[in-house]
Every structure is written in C-alpha cells, then in structure tokens.
A and B are shown apart, each in its own frame.
Chain A
Amino acid sequence: MALSFKPIRPLLQTGTNKSSRLFSYAGLGIGVLLLLCAIQMYINIQSLLREGSIRKNGFDYISITKNVTAETQGQEEKNLFRQTDIDELKKQPFIDGVEPLLANDFHVKLSAGAMIPFRTDMFLEALDNSYIDTVPPSFAWQPGQRSVPIILSSDFLEIYNVFAPGQGLPQISRETATSLAVNIHCEGREKEEIFVGRIAAFSDRINSVLVPKSFLDWANQEFGKGREVSATRLFIKTKDANNPDFLRFLDGKDYKLNKDKTILGRNKMVIDGIFSGLGIFGLLVVILALMLFSFYLQLVIARSRDSLQLLLTIGYSPAWLSRNFSKRFIPVYITIVLTALLVTQLAQWAFHHFVMFDRPELSSFIHWGVWLVGVALIILSIVTNYRLVRKLLYRLY
C-alpha cells in the first residue's frame, strides 16, 4: 500500500482564511503578468530598433569634426585633425577606437553617364571597414581594377530624390541606384582617369561617399598634391555615445558631434529604461506576493500545528509531509502563470495587430524567453514553498 496524502489532507486547516489566500493568488498573478509583459515589450523594442540601430557589436559609432568658426575659417591647420589629436582621443577611457576619415587630395567629378545627364564635383572618403555598418563582400579594390565599389550615405540618395524632379532628372530607388554605374573622374598632376563606380551599399551611419581605402591611398598617390592628408572627420567607436564624460570631453575640445545619429540610441535607452523599471516593479510584486503566500502557509501550519506534530510523532517523515503539502499548490501556481502567459500573449497580439499594424519585425506570438521566464517562475514558487514548509515542519519536530 502506497503512503497516501488523502487521509492527511483534512488535517490541514486552510478553509477559513480564503480571502488572504485569494489576495496572494491575485497579487502573484498581477506580478507575473507585469513581469512577463515588461520582458515581452523589452524584446519588442529590441527587435524594432535592430533595423535602424547605429550600434554594431555593442558599440556606438559617431563622427566628429572640428567646429569651424569665424576665427578658424580658412585656417586648415586649425580645422583638421592631426595625429596628436587622434592620439589624445585614443587615450580617453570612454573611447574604444578612433579612425580618421581619409579624404581625397585631388579633384573628383562624378557623372552619371549617358542615361542621366548629371555631373557634379564630388569628394571621396575612405574609412576602416570595421567602422562601416554595412560592408558587402564586393567592397574591395586592387590596383588595375576599373570598377570602384562605393558605399553611399542613404541621406545623399534622399537629397538627390528631393532635387531631381526640379532639375529634370529621374528619381531613383535604392535598388535602381545599386544597379547604376557612375563615372568617377579623377584629375590631378595633369592626368585624368575615369573609373566606373558602382554603389555596393548604403550606409545609415556615415554621411559620405566611401570608397575602399586601398583605392583612395593609391589615387592620392597617383593624382594628389603629395602633401600629408589630415582628416577633416574622425570616427569614434565607444560603448556609450551618451556617456556624460565623453560628451564633456568633446565639448571641452570644441569638437562637433554628429548628434542626430545618437538620438535613436538615446530614445532606445529611455524606452529600455522604462521597461526595465516596469520589469523590476513586476519582480517586486512577484516577491511580495510570494511573501504574502508564505505568510498564508505559515498560518495554515500554525493552525494545524497539533495535527502535524502528532503525525510527526507517530512516524511521518517531515520531508514526505512537506513535499505532499507543497504539492497541493503546484496546480495553483501553474494556473496562475499560465493565465498570465495567456494574457501576455493576448496583449502581444493586440499590440502587434492594432498598435504596430502587423509590422514584420515583430511577431504576434510571445518570445520563447517569456515562456522560459514563466516556467522559471513556476519552479521558483514551488521550490520556495517547499523549503518554507520543510523548515516549519522541522521546527515542529
């Protein structure tokens, strides 16, 4: 005959404090719901911002220039970054890397060929690949190669599309732009050479026309005036572009920061903060509810003290009693957490459908991580309960 808890159950006096039990159940439910919703929203925000994120490998990348003022205008040496400036920046603890944007030292013109009668003076820049957000494999150049891959700022295409109709030029999409070839005229040292430029990618981060560094190094040597090329812009790699120390340092140096590129990062931080706060609040409510529930358990055990003590006296094992006593509440916990998961699922569906209009970056279903947290909460409740009951019963022994 297996040892049964059935005859023991009536000995536990649980009935008369129903309201305190229901309160703790409701509290637990609300806490779990808040926590799960906060986690799901946090995940939603991450997915939404991943697309437009300027972060790469956990770093912010921002460009700085020297402030050109009435006093410094026309004085190149004051408006360009020298090696000593770069070295000083590298030494700062909040900066993880500095890379100059190498500019052309010769005359560059761009023409769109016969299809589009468009011709303009242009500039080219080069930057270390690790600082560029989108580097396609085709972004490379070797001497002798006629075609030059270009990474163009998305903003430039937008500007072109704004003025194109007024100039009688056709507006073009990203896809068309990447299939178009443009002629790059390089002039200097009484030579001119034409290369075929193809847009390999668009960059949201860098407001420039980027070519492979190998190309620009070669071209500067070939057509350049032979002087040392100082950088007008620097790219900085930092863990947090909103670090006050970092911003204060830049202000002190009178360096100009390309701020709009960090706005998204700032917003993201604020939203992250709000949902982290909500999550912590949810966690606190869960802890509070578990505490309330533990008081309820202590009350039940105190009320049933005589019976439990007698059971232990006649040979019932405290571990067996605790296990079976705690087991009674497992269905309750599972029901509470499942209900919270269900409501979170409903909320996520409504959020995706009615607020986000089924945007593809999001899912109508809750993230597996949320399920995992739900399961973890069930286990946490069961374990804390069991340990509490066992402790109380051992005290009766």
Chain B
Amino acid sequence: MMQLTIRDLLPVYFEEERKKRSEIWGKEIVFQRGELTKIIAPSGSGKTSLMHFLYGIRREYTGDILYDQQSLRTIDPETLSGFRSSQVSIVFQDMRLLPEQTVMENLEIKRQLNPYHNEDKVRQMAERLGVGSKLASLGRTCSYGEQQRIAIIRSLMQPFDFLLLDEPFSHLDNRNAEKAMELMLEEAAVRGASIIFADLERIDFFPFTRLFYL
C-alpha cells in the first residue's frame, strides 16, 4: 500500500465546529509510505478514534478513508484482514493482549499470521526492550509498562507499510520509551514504511517529517 488518505473525516459524535480548529478533521490529507507523521492531540480531541478509524475497526465517521484508492467502507472483511496482516499494523493505547496466554504465545499468534522475523529475533527484541524474562509469563500478570512493550513488539511481527501508534508510551518512562521508539524506527526503515504517531505532546526522540495538531 503506497498511501493512506483521509478526506473530510469527522467522528459522528463531534460537532462540525471541530473542523475549523483541527488540522486533521475535515481536511484532505495523504500519508505517503516512508513518512514519519506526528499528530499532537490533547485529551478528548479524538486521537484514539482517529487511529481506530484508520485501522478500520470503527466506522462511526463521516467523510472517507482510502487505502490507496479504495474506500475503507467498501473493503470486505477478508480483504481487510489481509491488509491488517501484511500492510497496516497498530499499537493500541489499551494494549489488547490475550490475558490467559503467555507473552510468547501472544507474540507467536501474531507472528504466525505473516512471519517477518524468526523466533530468535523475537527474543532479541524482547531482551532489548527489557521484557526478555517475561516471555513465559501470562499476559495478565505483566505490568502495564511490560504489556505496552509487548504490544509494541507484537506490532513488529509482520510486514507493514503503515504503523499506527496510539499513545504507545503512556505507561513507559522516558528511557524505555526511547528504546522502544528506536526499535520501531529501525523496523519501519527496514520496511520503508511510514509511522503515524498520535500522542498528547511532542516527543523529542521521534524525528517526524510532518506534524499535525488534531
């Protein structure tokens, strides 16, 4: 997928007024492959909604989202699952791990869909982000910080052209956040992929090429 387009997008539960103040809502923006986009969004500005819309798990919006030239509304579930396993990946703010599976099982369930790395590489990544010792623990026994790092590693298990980040560091200290960002930047660069990173404020260690205020 070369580009991701939003056109006159607005959540149905937002008033039209929002379009005037926002650089995203109500505008037409084309995100190209390879770009690093930062979206700064205060609480309640619809950051998570935007990420969910872009990923196609919610449809309560007016306007349109295009994967290349195809409207997301017209893509059938089978095709969309193909996009999700090979072209678009996401780190959710609420992590969304399987609580009763081990960390390794959580990662494997994602990895086997469309393996980009081998198992050794997975362990290396876990070590690098400081969760190597947690691989055999159940998802629900991990702290939020650990879960967030595992969710980040999970998002890197597949090939992708766009990586969507929804406040991925909310439970991480700066040092761990920086390490995680570094890993994601490396992985995106290897794939020639784009990162769309939505967060509350500006973060120094994300070298964005485009900046929007939501």
Q: Is A4 on the interface with B (CB-CB < 8 A)?
A: yes
Asked if A315 is an interface residue, CB under 8 A from chain B, the answer is: yes
Q: Is the CB of B100 within 8 A of A10?
A: yes
Quick one: which of A4, A7, A10 has the most chain B CB within 10 A?
A7
Would you give the 0/1 interface string for B90-118, flagging 1 where the beta carbon is closer than 8 Å to chain A? Answer: 00000010101100010011101111000
B154 to chain A, nearest CB (A): 8
Give the chain A neighbours of B112 by CB distance below 8 A: 1, 3-4, 7
CB-contact partner of A11 in B83, B98, B108, under 8 A: B98
A318 is contacted by which of B81, B85, B96 (Cβ under 8 Å)? B81
Does any Cβ of A come within 8 Å of B84's Cβ?
yes
A142 at the B interface (CB under 8 A): no
The minimal Cβ–Cβ distance linking B75 to chain A, given in whole angstroms, is 11
A72: Cβ under 8 A from any B Cβ: no
Instruction: Assess whether B114 is in contact with A315, with CB atoms less than 8 Å apart.
Output: yes
B residues near A314, Cβ cutoff 8 Å = 84-85, 109-110, 113, 154
Q: How large is the interface on B (under 10, 10 to 19, 20 to 34, 35 or more residues)?
A: 20 to 34
**Cβ-defined partner of B101 (8 Å) among A1, A10, A316:** A10
Contact B109 A313 (CB under 8 A): no
Give the residue name and chain of the A residue nearest to B82 (CB). Answer: A317
Q: How many A residues are at the interface, by size bracket?
A: 20 to 34
In the bound complex, CA of A215 to CA of B114 (Å): 89
B113–A316 contact, CB under 8 A?
Answer: yes
Q: Does the CB pair A317–B81 fall under 8 Å?
A: yes
The SS class assigned to the B binding surface is: helix
Q: Is the beta-carbon distance between B113 and A315 smaller than 8 angstroms?
A: yes
Provide the A1-34 mask, 1 if CB < 8 A to any CB of B, else 0.
Answer: 1011001101100000000000000000000000
Q: Give which listed residue, A7, A313, A317, contacts B78 with CB less than 8 A.
A: A317
Return B56 CB to nearest CB of chain A, in Å. Answer: 9
CB under 8 Å from chain B, chain A span 349-394 = 394
Whether the pair A313, B98 counts as a contact (CB closer than 8 A) is: no
Q: CB distance A310 to B113 under 8 Å?
A: no
A397 CB within 8 Å of chain B: yes
Contact indicator per residue, chain A 283-316, by CB within 8 Å of chain B (1) or not (0) = 0000000000000000000000001001111111
Q: Whose C-beta in chain B lies nearest to the C-beta of A11?
A: B98
Quote the shortest CB–CB distance from B90 to chain A (angstroms): 8
Interface membership of B158, Cβ < 8 A: yes
Chain B residues positioned under 8 Å from A307 (CB to CB): 98
Known: A10-B100, A315-B84, A315-B85. A3 touches B57 (CB 8 A): no
Residues of B within 8 A of A (CB): 57, 77-78, 81-86, 96, 98, 100-101, 105, 108-110, 112-115, 154, 158
> Can you name 10 A-B residue pairings with CB atoms under 8 Å?
A3-B113, A10-B101, A11-B100, A307-B98, A310-B98, A315-B81, A315-B82, A315-B85, A315-B110, A315-B113
What 7 pairs across the A-B complex have the smallest Cβ distances?
A315-B85, A315-B84, A317-B81, A397-B77, A7-B109, A318-B77, A315-B113
Q: A315-B83, A316-B113 are in contact. List 8 more A-B contacts (CB 8 A).
A: A3-B112, A11-B100, A310-B96, A314-B154, A315-B86, A318-B78, A318-B81, A397-B77
